[in-house]
Amino acid sequence: MRKSRFSEAQMVTILREADKAPVAEIAKKHGISEQTIYSWRKQYGVLDADE
């Protein structure tokens, strides 16, 4: 599997941003697709950045 360019902590931080702002806006800001955010939410949605 390809190595992600974001660490798990960065993914969780981006997810927290997406909780507060529109997903489309956050995806564009970070250069990822909206679907990526939804996939991450499925995988990391219950974690905090410090976990």
The contacts found for 11-20 with CB under 8 angstroms, 24 or more apart, are 11/40, 11/44, 12/44, 12/47, 12/48, 12/49, 12/51, 13/49, 14/40, 15/40, 15/41, 15/44, 15/45, 16/49
d(CA 3, CA 19): 25
Please state the domain extents for the chain. Answer: 21-45
- pLDDT tens digit sequence for 13-43: 999 999 999 999 999 999 999 999 999 999 8
What pTM, to 2 d.p., does this model score?
0.80
pLDDT value of position 1: 58
pLDDT value of position 50: 52
What would the two tokens of residue 16 be? 């927290």
Kindly state the helix (H) or strand (E) to which residue 23 belongs, with its residue range.
Answer: helix 23-30
